[in-house]
Amino acid sequence: TGVIVSMGVIATMDPEAQQRKQGKEMLLPGVDPRKKHYVCGSCAAFTNIVVTFPIQKVLFRQQLFGVRATEAVAQLRRDGLRNLYRGLLPPLLQKTTTVAIMFGLYEDFSRLLARHAGGPELLTRSMAAVLAGTAEAALTPFERVQTLLQDPRHHGRFHNTFHTFRTLLGDHGARECYRGLVPILLRNGPSNALFFGLRGPIKQRLPEAQTPAAHLVNDFICGGLLGAMLGFMFYPLNVVKARMQSQVGGAFPSLRTVLLTIWRERDGKVTHLFRGAHLNYHRSILSWGIINATYELLLKLMLVSASAWRRSQRTQLENHRHTLASCTRVRKLSARERKVSSGAWPTRVTL
């Protein structure tokens, strides 16, 4: 316990307690290290959704109806500007949460598995990525509502996000909200493992960045290339998911049944099954480029802020210790003066 003398008042203060109290302020400049990956992922997803949502609507029309991009754009024009951002809230809520979970849980699971499971780092990180992707599937209802709001056949039936949720739960129960869960599970786990496994090696192959802007460009390229590659690989699963989730009520056909139905409808041609994949490729470059670059940028800014905050706290603590030492010296000198004045060391008196 230290002592501070101010205006003749002596007060006790625990410097460690004060540091713990001030530690709460770290959420502003640096964010708690356990939360920073979640925060950065969420902010990156928000930026991406706002920028790429119109492109996503064109892609969705191609997945659902098998039309060309020009026809999908024409459909959106006929719907009008008022409906362009119709259905924005579900992907905004879903994506900001799932990307936060994707990055945050990946780091948490990686740390836990490395500590308790052991084994090669590649294996533990791959398992962490799959587990994070599986956890993301809990938010399937948001994708479900997004699909219904973007489907023009349901424009008159579902008014907004909350009305759609209320209708699905009230008329069909919670299970209806998880229609299309199987293709989402098959997509999320493997794609996460490949994304986190290849992100580092791809960035190492790029020219070494010398400036912050160059780092940002490299992160954008790395995320964009991975997003485009994985989006193309798992595109058929997204087509099946869109078809499954466009249905309301009735039976729950298997993934195989829906895939065969789409295959027959599109004349049994692989090129028709991948219709819209070229637009998805370009959208994924932009989307995952934005997500990866924004995530890495925010993470670096938070690390710099946290480092500056820690330096500031160390300086304050050192100043506090110097103040305590000075106060202690003052108290000792004052004690000696009081002893002298009270006759603690009396002098010889001659009569």
Please report the pLDDT score of residue 57 as a whole number.
86
- Tell me the CA distances in angstroms from 292 to 130, 195, 199, 234, 253, one per residue in order: 19, 11, 10, 19, 36
What is the percent of the chain where pLDDT is above 90? Answer: 45
Q: What would the pLDDT profile of 179-213 be if each residue is shown by its tens digit?
A: 999 999 999 999 999 999 999 999 999 999 889 89
Helix (H, G, I), strand (E, B) or coil at 162: helix
- Tell the burial category of 171 from Cβ atoms under 10 Å away from its Cβ (0-12, 13-18, 19+): exposed
How many structural domains are present in the chain?
A: 1
Predicted pLDDT of residue 94: 83
**pLDDT tens, 146-177?**
889 888 888 888 888 899 999 999 999 999 99
The answer to the question of residue 258 being in a domain is yes
Residue 216 placed within a domain: yes
Position 151 in a domain: yes
The answer as to whether 229 is a domain residue is: yes
Predicted pLDDT at 321: 74
Q: What is the pLDDT of residue 61?
A: 83
Q: Where are the alpha helices (DSSP H) in the chain?
A: 15-22, 36-65, 69-79, 89-116, 121-136, 140-150, 161-172, 174-177, 181-205, 212-233, 235-245, 255-265, 270-273, 277-341
Dist. CA 72–CA 87, nearest whole Å: 16
Question: Whole-prediction pTM value?
Answer: 0.71
Would residue 330 count as lying in a domain? Answer: no
Residues 111, 114, 119: CA angle, nearest 5 degrees: 155
pLDDT, tens digit, for every residue of 33-59? 778 899 999 999 999 998 888 888 888
Residue 10: the pLDDT is: 32
| Residue 24 pLDDT | 41
Domain that holds residue 204: 34-305
Residue 104 to residue 131: CA distance in whole angstroms: 12
Does residue 6 fall inside a structural domain? no
Question: Which pLDDT score is estimated for 326?
Answer: 72
Higher pLDDT, 325 or 305: 325
Tokens of 28: 């502003």
Distance of CA 289 to the CA centre of its chain: 14
Domain with residue 134: its CATH number is: 1.50.40.10
Is residue 79 included in any domain, yes or no? yes
Higher-pLDDT residue of 210 and 27 is 210
Residue 35 in 3-state DSSP? Answer: coil
**Is residue 344 in a domain?**
no
